[in-house]
Amino acid sequence: MKDFDASGTLASAIDFHLAHSVGKTPDSASITDWRLALSRAVRDRLITPWFDATHQTYAKDRKRVYYLSMEFLLGRILEDAVNNLGLEDEAKEALAAYDVDFVDVVGDEPDAALGNGGLGRLAACFLDSLSCLGIPAHGYGIRYAHGLFRQSFEDGRQMEMAEDWLRHQHNWEFERSECLYDIGFGGQVTENGKSAVWTPSDIVMAQAYDTPVPGWRASWTNTLRLWSAKPRQIFDLDPFNRGEYMQAAAPEVLAETISRVLYPDDSTEIGKELRLKQEFFFTSASLQDLMRRFLAHNGDLRALPSKVAIQMNDTHPAIAGPELIRQLMDVHGLGFDAAFDIAQGTLHYTNHTLLPEALEAWEVSLMGAILPRHMQLIERIDDRLARDVKASETGVNTHIVDNGKVNMGTLAFTCARKVNGVSALHTNLMKQTVFSDLHAVYPDRILNQTNGVTPRRWVHGCNPGLRNLLNDTIGTEWVRDLEQLKRIAPLADDPDFCQRFMAVKQENKRRLTDWVSDKLGVDIAPDAMFDIQIKRIHEYKRQLMNALETAALANAIRRDPGAAWTPRVKFFGGKAAPAYIDAKNIIRLINDIAKSINNDPVIGDRLKVVYPPNYNVSMAEILIPAADLSEQISTAGKEASGTGNMKFALNGAVTIGTLDGANVEIRDCVGDDNIYIFGMTADQVEGAREGYVTQNYIDQSPILSEVIDQIRTGFYSPGDPTRHWPVLEKLLRDDYFMVAADFDAYWDAQRKVDEGFADSDGWARMAVLNTAHSGWFSSDRTIQGYADDIWGVSSLLEDDK
Ligand code: 26M
């Protein structure tokens, strides 16, 4: 294969692109210009490996993976690509020759925030691992013009602003103006003998944009293909000629609305028409595209399951079941049963939450209006399910269409060959709760694949100090084989190694201290314990419990400022869905508590509270390496897995957490002595529901009572005493996530943490052992699990060996 690499140096490629792609001279170039030039120069180096991988996949005709996801929370791309290609030193030197700082240049890139939180970031880690392992795969999603909103605080309240990541040219994608598919909506279905003909009332086009996704050292490079909606015709000439200019532009407006903006809802079902259109838009385009690729090499549609594995990331692409069946029947002429079997042999479904409010269900009337043919097919799939239920003799009663709604979880499950949960606990709860009936009918369908995170971004990239220490100590293979971290476990007893490990942590904390002072004007002490809770703001994640404990700690310090307090800085970070009022109230309370504590001279450096606005992937990359303590305190049974918990442990933070999600497995890996577990188990939580009275728990806890009284009487909102009453009212009326019940156990665990941190040698040992024993949480391990147990695919890299 022809080698397209710029054979010259990276420096000359940057010079070239600054002139020819950006149109600037070095003396007039801004940081953004340098970034664009460097991005082009780096992207050039991806082309040969990318073509190579594509060529090999075609030549070998092996089974491919398609990962369908509404969200890909990529974050910044440039620094990651530089690291993957091993170009750090060259890039730094080339820019330094012009007195330009590499860190400023990569820091200028806006995050690609095409996701809300855990589910979207998991998809991004999976893409990295798929490439790293050399598994032929495509990610398929939506090219939102606007990603997750930007957050600011005004008077402590969350404000939302539109995000605009494409404002400067986006240098990583290739527009495929020839790769277009029609996507229909609405209209009628007419029966034509045996077959049905769907005549949509509106058609928009899906246009592809491809981004190469390099693995480590670019030994393999996959593609992320994102769809952008385009009008089929620019405007309607008839109304235009009549002077009705707005109406003439209507098709353009409809089309461009579809891929305009990411829905900012995380774990809430919204039932909005545009959302359903987005889901169908990218699912249909992706299926048409992969069918075209399959048919270019295969005549026999029955071979589809042996050549293609499709993963549905949550139920957002669950319309893939009926849509694939529709294409097989209405386009390729198969009968329903054959089409169903092929679809079901090809599709797989990952569940990411059991919270009832997050389970998608669409009104039959809406589904029938927007996707009339699919609604018919959903009824037929429901009949197939009924047949299997009957044959199973389990006596269960489960339907896809129920109560006037299409239950998308049931649809996805019925159409999937395998269904997986994202942690051991979560998978067991799937079997026992939401999917118990389906599990009885299909006992071999559910399996577990515990989540993981990519070590390239979440250790190598974000923590250069730790990267260097690991390279010096165990060599460099850990980047691709993270279980090698185990080799540092014996060094937890080596004072010299522990000292070097904690020096790295200290340097990261200093970096964060400077950042906080610079960005927020808050001065914090880098030798205090850095205690961090960063994630979407949601009641089940219990940021409120952390805030209440913070206020209680402030009270204790004020009462006895001379005691031997372990100094702490509590960090909060995260966004609330704009319509989630209860979560927004919690944000405001945290900000008020922070203000009060940070300005209290009696408390001083013993306790500070920092809540930087607009938490995102890039901010996580600064915060996580600097953490001493990782807050993973969700109500047991509610956090499906968590992935932040894994990033913290890998970077040597100790976890304080409940036995929820993957915390359970983190405890199994790092050992009871190296984690602070507290609170009710998932079983105990459900047991405590009957007759739960918040006030009883508050009455039993003088510490909690005092804080609640302070909030009630306006201690944290002087001049506006009722400001935080809604938070208290909700807590007293319906403490569904059992903040009050777990509060004292949390408080006690935090005091043990204080003691633990005061023993700096003991803490260093725990920190080292957390890193040493977290290698299992690499997304490479997770993806290998999907490849072996779900997709039946293997690496193409191994072929050369
Ligand atoms: C739903 C309807 C409309 C708009 C948006 C949504 C929606 C978007 C994202 C609903 C849920 C969404 O994400 C759920 C999620 O992020 N789940 C998290 O998945 C992670 C990866 O598996 C887990 O680690 C987290 O525990 C889980 O909360």
Look at residue 128 and give its three-state secondary structure.
Answer: helix
Q: 118 CA distance to ligand 1 centroid (A)? A: 6
Which entry of 643, 655, 658, 782 is annotated as an active-site residue?
Answer: 643
pLDDT at 7: 64
What does the pLDDT look like over 152-183, one tens digit per residue?
999 999 999 999 999 988 889 999 999 999 99
Q: Is the dihedral of CA 638, 641, 647, 652 positive or negative?
A: positive
Higher pLDDT, 551 or 4: 551
Ligand 1 atom 7, closest CA: 266
- Identify the three-state secondary structure at position 201: coil
Please state, in angstroms and rounded to a whole number, the distance separating the CA atoms of residues 303 and 295: 10
Quote the pLDDT of residue 5: 55
Does pLDDT of 589 surpass 80? yes
Catalytic residue chosen out of the listed positions 445, 541, 730, 773: 541
The SS3 of residue 779 is helix
Give the Å distances, CA to CA, from 554 to 486, 607, 708.
Answer: 39, 7, 13
Residue 800 is predicted with a pLDDT of 57
Confidence class of residue 236 from pLDDT cuts 50, 70 and 90?
confident
264 C-alpha vs ligand 1 centroid, how far in Å?
11
How far does the centroid of ligand 1 lie from the alpha carbon of residue 596, in Å?
33
Q: Which atom of ligand 1 is nearest to the CA of 275?
A: 3
What average pLDDT does this structure show over 626-634?
A: 99
How far apart, in whole angstroms, are the C-alpha atoms of residue 737 and residue 636? 9
Whether the per-residue pLDDT at 378 is higher than 90: the answer is yes
| Domains of the chain with bracketed CATH | 1-60+87-110 (no CATH), 61-76+111-451+784-800 (3.40.50.2000), 527-761 (3.40.50.2000)
**386 alpha carbon – ligand 1 mean position (Å):** 29
| Max intra-chain CA distance, the chain | 88
Ligand 1 centre and the CA of 593: distance in Å? 29
Higher pLDDT among residues 3 and 780, named by residue: 780
Residue 578 has pLDDT above 60, yes or no: yes
Query: In terms of DSSP H, where are the helices of 250-311?
Result: 250-258, 273-295, 304-307
Which residue in 43, 63, 326, 352 is the catalytic one? 352
Active site residue 575: no
Burial of residue 639, with CB atoms counted within 10 A of its CB: 0-12 exposed, 13-18 middle, 19 or more buried: buried
Model pTM greater than 0.90?
A: yes
What is the pLDDT at residue 103? 97
Distance of CA 287 to the CA centre of its chain: 23
Residue 643 known to be catalytic: yes
Q: Which two tokens stand for residue 428?
A: 């067991």
Count of H-run helices and E-run strands, the chain:
33, 24
CA 186 to CA 124: how far, in whole Å?
33
Given the residues 64, 138, 467, 535, select the one marked as catalytic: 535
pLDDT at position 249 is 82
Between the CA of residue 354 and those of 275, 418, 464, 638, what are the distances in Å?
Answer: 20, 17, 37, 7
Q: Look up tokens 């100790």; give the residue.
A: 654
Distances (CA, A) of 36 to 169, 646, 697: 8, 33, 57
Average pLDDT, the chain: 96
**Which helix or strand (DSSP H or E) is residue 783 part of?**
helix 779-786
536 catalytic, yes or no?
yes
In angstroms, rounded to a whole number, what is the distance separating the alpha carbons of residues 510 and 399? 56
pLDDT classification of 6: cutoffs 50, 70, 90: low
Measured CA distances, 543 to 357, 478, 535, 573, 653 (Å): 19, 34, 9, 10, 19
For residue 492, the model assigns a pLDDT of 98
Nearest atom in ligand 1 to 642's CA? 24
Specify burial of residue 719 (Cβ count, 10 A radius: 0-12, 13-18, 19+): exposed
639 C-alpha vs ligand 1 centroid, how far in Å?
Answer: 10
Residue 535 falls in the annotated catalytic set: yes
Ligand 1 atom 9: the closest Cα is on which residue? Answer: 266
C-alpha 536 to ligand 1 mean position (Å): 10
- pLDDT class of 396 with cuts at 50, 70, 90: very high
**Average pLDDT rounded to a whole number, residues 385-405:** 97
Q: 694 vs 128, 284, 638, CA distance in Å?
A: 45, 48, 19
Cα–Cα distance for residue pair 791/414, rounded to 1 Å: 17
Cα–Cα nearest to 800, from 214, 50, 64, 56: 56
Token code pair at residue 636: 């047991």
- How many angstroms separate the CA atoms of 755 and 766, rounded? 13
Among protein residues, the one whose CA lies closest to atom 19 of ligand 1:
119
Look at residue 310 and give its three-state secondary structure. strand
Local structure of 647: helix, strand or coil:
helix
Å from CA of 73 to ligand 1 middle: 12
Structure ipTM: 0.96
List helix spans (H) across 599-736: 617-623, 644-650, 663-670, 682-688, 694-699, 702-712, 725-733
Cβ-based neighbours of 174, under 8 Å, separated by 6 or more:
209, 210, 211
Compute the distance from residue 658 Cα to the ligand 1 centre, in Å: 20
What pLDDT score does 457 carry?
98
- 647 carries an active-site annotation: yes
Which atom of ligand 1 sits closest to the CA of residue 269?
2
Q: Tell me the best of 67, 71, 114, 266 to mutate to test the pocket of ligand 1, counting ligand atoms within 8 Å of each CB and taking the most.
A: 266
pLDDT tens, 37-81? 999 999 999 999 999 999 999 999 999 999 999 999 999 999 999
Please choose from 69, 71, 72, 116 the residue to mutate so as to test ligand 1's pocket, defined by most ligand atoms within 8 A of CB.
Answer: 116
Ligand 1 shell residues, CB under 6 Å: 116-119, 122, 263, 265-267, 269-270, 275, 352-353, 358, 422, 451, 639-643, 661
- Measured from the CA of 422, which atom of ligand 1 is nearest? 22
In whole angstroms, give the CA distance from residue 548 to residue 706.
10
What does each C-alpha distance from 355 to 403, 432, 638 come to in angstroms? 19, 14, 7
Q: Residue 352 catalytic?
A: yes
Instruction: Report CA torsion sign: 74, 77, 79, 84.
Output: positive
Most informative mutation of 71, 122, 267 for ligand 1 (most atoms within 8 A of CB): 267
Asked if pLDDT for residue 357 goes beyond 80, the answer is yes
HSE toward the beta carbon, residue 460, CA cutoff 13 A: 27
Residues in the chain: 801
Structural element, H or E, at residue 212: strand 202-214
3-state secondary structure of 650: helix
Task: pLDDT band for 250, please (50, 70, 90 cuts).
Answer: confident
Q: Are 221 and 55 in contact (CB under 8 A)?
A: no
